[in-house]
Amino acid sequence: MASIELKNVIKRYGTGKTANQVIHGVNAQIKDGEFIVIVGPSGCGKSTLLRMVAGLEEISDGTISIGNRVVNDLEPSERDIAMVFQNYALYPHMSVFDNMAYGLKIAKVPEAEIKTRVDKAAKILELGAYLDRKPKALSGGQRQRVAMGRAIVRQPQVFLFDEPLSNLDAKLRAQTRLEIQKLHRELGITSLFVTHDQVEAMTLAQRMIVMNGGVMEQFGTPEEVYTRPATTFVASFIGSPPMNLLKNAPDAKAGVITGVRPEHLDITPNGWSLAVEAVEMLGAERLIYGRWTHTQGNDGEVVIIRTEESAAVPAIGATLHVTPRPAKIHHFDANTGRRLETV
Ligand SMILES: Nc1ncnc2c1ncn2[C@@H]1O[C@H](COP(=O)(O)OP(=O)(O)OP(=O)(O)O)[C@@H](O)[C@H]1O
């Protein structure tokens, strides 16, 4: 097992005038045994970051260390990592056993040792009954587990996961998420897990790196990221529906964005005045969309309120008053998007 350190890591594709910088100086210290999720929208650079740790992409500037050893110039095979890909990358003509054993055979691990390690991984992943099958005779979830098994048997210092769950349906994704958590509890191997799915990030991460446009916007526990987002981007990316980010709240100061999550707005006799535009029933809860009544014309700003499904349903067009819970109000600089601690 090992810690991982990223120091001012930069990635450029191309050179000279055509160079395109896609990672803009990422700094992060990952502790030995931590499970870290890198999350962000498509194109934000999360795969590039992971592939630089893996050694599949060159690092343009900065350093990456694994277990106190700078790995910038090391081949992937020298980094003591194992990677699980989105498409599993299994060999179709090999049995499950051989798929898991392949890397060890190449590394000339003795046969008895290979068998011990594959059997142990198969037991952990409940693949024991499938060792003779070919990948095509497995379900998507089972293939996924074989891909993980292949990573486990290598006994690496670090696991790298690149969207490993995105080919699974919603139910299997939720189930595999739990299996990955269990695996991490049992093996305790430092892990970096890339996803664009905020629910996956929130549920799997001990700490998460939120990326946007090649910049690390925040690095913190899911709780920190949710309760104290560092920027308007993080506030709107994590949480569904997203945090209301309001320029026109009645009590707002110029240049300050007021942030409040839909669940932190209470319907009260007085308070912010909104005209109800739509109501959505989501099962256990209801979303109400309201537009300011105090701004002239249509400023495009809609406030979302989350209520319990048992709460009274307002009529479309009715005026609704809501009050944000004082301890749950956030403020952001309208220019930089950064969190303001005092307003
Ligand atoms: N080989 C390449 N040459 C030039 N630009 C690239 C190359 N690979 C990736 N990029 C660019 O780098 C940026 C980051 O890509 P990356 O694949 O890391 O994003 P991502 O966050 O993993 O996205 P996704 O979730 O869609 O996979 C993108 O703008 C992409 O177009």
Whether residue 340 is contained in a domain is answered as no
Whether residue 339 is contained in a domain is answered as no
Same domain, 25 and 169: yes
In one letter, which amino acid is 136?
K
What DSSP string runs through 84-141?
Answer: E-TT----TTS-HHHHHHHHHHHTT--HHHHHHHHHHHHHHTT-GGGTTS-GGGS-HH
What DSSP string runs through 218-262?
Answer: EEE-HHHHHHS-SBHHHHHHSSSSPPEEES--TTPPTTEEEEE-G
Same domain, 251 and 320: yes
Does 339 sit in the ligand 1 pocket, CB within 6 Å? no
Does 213 sit in the ligand 1 pocket, CB within 6 Å? no
Whether residue 173 is contained in a domain is answered as yes
The string of pLDDT tens digits covering residues 43-102 is 999 999 999 999 999 999 999 999 989 999 999 989 999 988 887 788 999 999 999 999
Same domain, 160 and 194: yes
CATH of the domain at 211: 3.40.50.300
Q: Which of 209, 235, 261 is the last residue of a domain?
A: 235
Ligand 1 atom 31, closest CA: 43
Same domain, 134 and 190: yes
The string of pLDDT tens digits covering residues 198-230 is 999 999 999 999 999 999 999 999 999 999 999
Whether residue 341 is contained in a domain is answered as no
Query: What pLDDT is attached to residue 296?
Result: 66
Same domain, 182 and 268: no
Ligand 1, residues 12, 15, 22: which to mutate, most atoms within 8 A of Cβ? 22
Contact 335, 342 (CB under 8 A): no
Q: Which of 235, 261, 286 is the last residue of a domain?
A: 235
Residues in CB range of 230: below 8 A, 6 or more apart: 217, 218, 220, 338, 339
Q: Which of 205, 235, 265 is the last residue of a domain?
A: 235
Distance from the alpha carbon of residue 225 to the mean position of ligand 1, in angstroms: 24
Same domain, 321 and 192: no
User: Number of structural domains, the chain?
Assistant: 2
Give the structural domain span for 313.
242-333
Query: What pLDDT is attached to residue 339?
Result: 97
Which pTM does this prediction carry? 0.91
Sign of CA dihedral 145, 149, 151, 152: positive
Pairing label, strands 265-281, 256-260: unpaired
Same domain, 102 and 66: yes
Same domain, 256 and 229: no
Which of the residues in the chain have pLDDT under 70? 296-299, 343
Whether residue 264 is contained in a domain is answered as yes
Same domain, 43 and 110: yes
Does 42 sit in the ligand 1 pocket, CB within 6 Å? yes
Same domain, 52 and 184: yes
d(CA 307, CA 133): 50
Query: What pLDDT is attached to residue 144?
Result: 87
